[in-house]
């Protein structure tokens, strides 16, 4: 990342209903004034956004400062000041040009965020200025302010942090719909969760704990086993050093009832073979295609060649079910709303809680993506729109010993003041 750079010859988007192929426009720093003061309406606003400028490596995601006129909210819209954004595997695919729902560059990525409503349009009766909300969309969330339909927002529980709010929607909606809407997980069933230390993996594990006597097999590197075991994985398996199929058969000779497959390729075939009679395989990704920061045509071809191929006759004779899940293609808005309502209630009951791996400022988006690409994360990686504060540079000359005590006292006093400011901001 090269820091902030002003866009060149880039016209601000006209305000309209939020669409999957267009990032929402930014909000103003003082939206209330834009309604009542003509001078405020004429004053342009600027905001920071992460823009995918082309397909390729980490350097294709640029931190830009955009400028446009004060947004005028349409009926049913709200303006949200973004506090945290989620990073998902879909954005890694999108950067490589492998996510078909992402518009062509230049485009602002990001499907989920959390923040505070700063203005509401006409006909919005269930949201108000000051509400803490989660925002869900197909793109456009990686910026400081967004304008979206009020239906795309969800009120956050009081005890939920902004970081947790940004970590919940995509991972937990995906996991919930697969487990409960498709696989119909029930007491006594067994589930294989690949990439069990990832965002969806941890979400699925926690949701399995809401059902009695569900056995969870989870694949992850050995260094992550302690964490996923504490989170509810019954049998952690190191896929790097062991054959997970053999390990599962040692424990459960008949296999498992449900397989959640984000890998694709040969692993989908293995998952199908692992199913018990009347078992369900759900394919929801193709992570095997992604081996580095740039598109790997060989890995894509290998994954495609080794994909599962079935006839309806073979499916009948096997007494198994194969499902596909892609949250981006769910057009039923009410289905998303009802699922989010269930998940937020489970959070309030203390039954689920997003596991945060790390937080990166917008300036550090390359590091955030690298961490996920290299499978180092345990849980959710979060992006923070707030500018990163520059670290104080060490002074060239040391202070005299007689001033050390005074300096330390001054530093302690500043720390206390900073802590109070942070608490005030959170409140």
- SS (HEC) of 96-144: CCCCCCCCCCCEECCCEEEEEEEEECCCCCCCCCCCEEEEECCCCCCEC
Residue 184 above 80 pLDDT?
Answer: yes
Reported as half-sphere exposure (CB side, CA atoms, 13 A), residue 124 has a value of 23
- Kindly report, residue by residue over 119-146, the tens digit of the pLDDT: 999 999 999 999 999 999 999 999 999 9
Confidence of residue 334 (pLDDT cuts 50, 70, 90): very high
Residue 150 near residue 77 (C-beta atoms within 8 A): yes
State how far Cα 93 lies from the chain centre.
13
Residue with tokens 């930014």: 26
Mean predicted lDDT score pLDDT of the chain: 84
Mean pLDDT over residues 308-335, rounded? 92
Q: Report the pLDDT averaged over residues 149-156.
A: 96
Distances (CA, A) of 227 to 262, 378, 406: 20, 8, 44
Instruction: Give the SS3 label for residue 63.
Output: strand
Beta strands in 347-396 (DSSP E): 356-361, 380-384
Q: Which H or E run includes 91?
A: helix 89-95
Contacts of residue 10, defined as CB under 8 A and 6 or more positions apart, other chains included, come to 66, 106
pLDDT in tens, 347-395: 999 999 999 999 999 999 999 999 998 989 999 999 999 998 876 444 4
Rounded CA-CA distance 306/160 in Å is: 42
Residue 273 pLDDT exceeds 50: yes
Exposed e or buried b per residue across 330-364, where buried means at least 16 C-beta atoms within 10 angstroms of its C-beta: eeeeeebeebbeebbebbeeeebbbbbbbebbbbb
Specify whether the backbone of 265 is left (phi greater than 0), alpha (psi in -120 to 50) or beta.
left
Residues in CB range of 32: below 8 A, 6 or more apart? 118, 119, 129
Q: Is the pLDDT of residue 19 over 70?
A: no
Instruction: Single out the residue of 361, 379, 294, 407 nearest to residue 88, CA to CA.
Output: 379
Q: Mean pLDDT throughout 51-57?
A: 95
Taking 70 as the threshold, does the pLDDT of residue 262 lie above it? yes
pLDDT for res 388: 87
CA gap 186, 164 in Å, rounded = 27
Residue bearing the bigger pLDDT, 170 or 418: 170
DSSP string, 160-227: --HHHHHHSHHHHHHHHIIIIIIS---TT-EEEESSTTSHHHHHHHHHHTTSTT-EEEEE--GGGHHH
CA atoms lying within 13 Å on the CB side of residue 262: 24
SS3 82: strand
CA atoms of 421 and 427, how far apart (whole Å) = 10
72: left (phi over 0), alpha (psi -120 to 50) or beta: beta
> What pLDDT shows up at residue 39?
44
Contact predicate 296/290, CB 8 Å: yes
- 288 falls in which pLDDT band (50, 70, 90)? low
Pick 264 or 419 by higher pLDDT.
264
Residue 67: predicted pLDDT: 87
- Residue 219 confidence (pLDDT): 97
pLDDT at 173: 98
Distance CA 89, CA 368 (A): 11
User: In sequence order, what are the beta bridge partners of 360?
Assistant: 383
Sheet hosting strand 256-261, strand order edge to edge: 235-237, 215-219, 190-193, 256-261, 275-283, 321-324
Average pLDDT over residues 409-422: 46
Evaluate the omega torsion of the peptide bond into residue 45 and state whether it is cis, within 30 degrees of 0. Answer: no
pLDDT at 66: 87
pTM: predicted TM-score of the whole model, two decimal places: 0.80
Q: Which residues contact 122 (CB under 8 A, 6 or more apart)?
A: 73, 75, 76
**What confidence score (pLDDT) does residue 302 get?**
66
pLDDT of residue 293: 64
Span 17-36, average pLDDT = 39
What's the confidence (pLDDT) of residue 308? Answer: 80
């Amino acid at each position: 990342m090269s820091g902030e750079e002003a866009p060149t010859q880039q016209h601000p988007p006209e305000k309209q209903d939020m669409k999957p192929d267009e990032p929402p426009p930014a909000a103003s720093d003082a939206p209330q004034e834009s309604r009542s003061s003509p001078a405020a309406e004429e004053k342009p606003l600027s905001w920071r956004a992460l823009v995918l400028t082309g397909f390729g490596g980490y350097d294709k995601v640029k931190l830009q400062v955009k400028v446009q006129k004060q947004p005028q909210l349409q009926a049913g819209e709200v303006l949200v000041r973004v506090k945290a954004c989620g990073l998902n595997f879909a954005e890694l695919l999108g950067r490589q040009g492998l996510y078909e729902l992402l518009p062509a560059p230049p485009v602002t990525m990001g499907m989920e965020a959390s923040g505070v409503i700063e203005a509401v349009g006409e006909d919005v009766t269930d949201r108000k200025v000051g509400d803490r909300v989660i925002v869900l969309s197909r793109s456009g969330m990686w910026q400081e302010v967004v304008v979206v339909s009020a239906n795309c927002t969800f009120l956050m529980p009081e005890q939920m942090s902004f970081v947790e709010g940004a970590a919940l929607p995509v991972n937990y909606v995906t996991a919930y719909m697969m487990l409960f809407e498709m696989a119909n997980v029930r007491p006594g069933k067994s589930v294989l969760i690949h990439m069990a230390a990832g965002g969806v993996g941890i979400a699925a594990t926690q949701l399995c704990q809401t059902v009695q006597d569900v056995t969870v097999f989870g694949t992850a590197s050995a260094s992550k086993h302690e964490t996923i075991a504490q989170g509810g994985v019954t049998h952690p398996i190191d896929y790097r050093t062991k054959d997970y199929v053999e390990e599962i058969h040692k424990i459960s000779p008949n296999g498992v009832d449900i397989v959640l497959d984000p890998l694709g390729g040969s692993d989908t075939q293995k998952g199908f073979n692992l199913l018990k009679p009347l078992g369900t395989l759900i394919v929801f990704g193709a992570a095997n295609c992604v081996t580095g920061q740039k598109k790997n045509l060989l890995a894509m071809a290998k994954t495609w060649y080794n994909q599962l191929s079935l006839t309806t006759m073979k499916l009948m004779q096997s007494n198994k079910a194969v499902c596909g899940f892609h949250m981006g293609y769910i057009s039923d808005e009410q289905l998303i709303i009802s699922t989010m309502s269930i998940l937020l209630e489970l959070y309030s009951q203390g039954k689920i809680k997003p596991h945060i791996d790390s937080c990166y400022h917008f300036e550090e988006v390359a590091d955030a993506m690298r961490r996920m690409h290299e499978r180092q994360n345990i849980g959710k990686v979060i992006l923070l729109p707030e500018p990163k504060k520059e670290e104080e540079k060490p002074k060239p000359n040391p202070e005299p010993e007689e001033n050390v005590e005074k300096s330390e006292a001054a530093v302690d006093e500043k720390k206390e003041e900073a802590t109070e400011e942070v608490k005030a901001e959170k409140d």
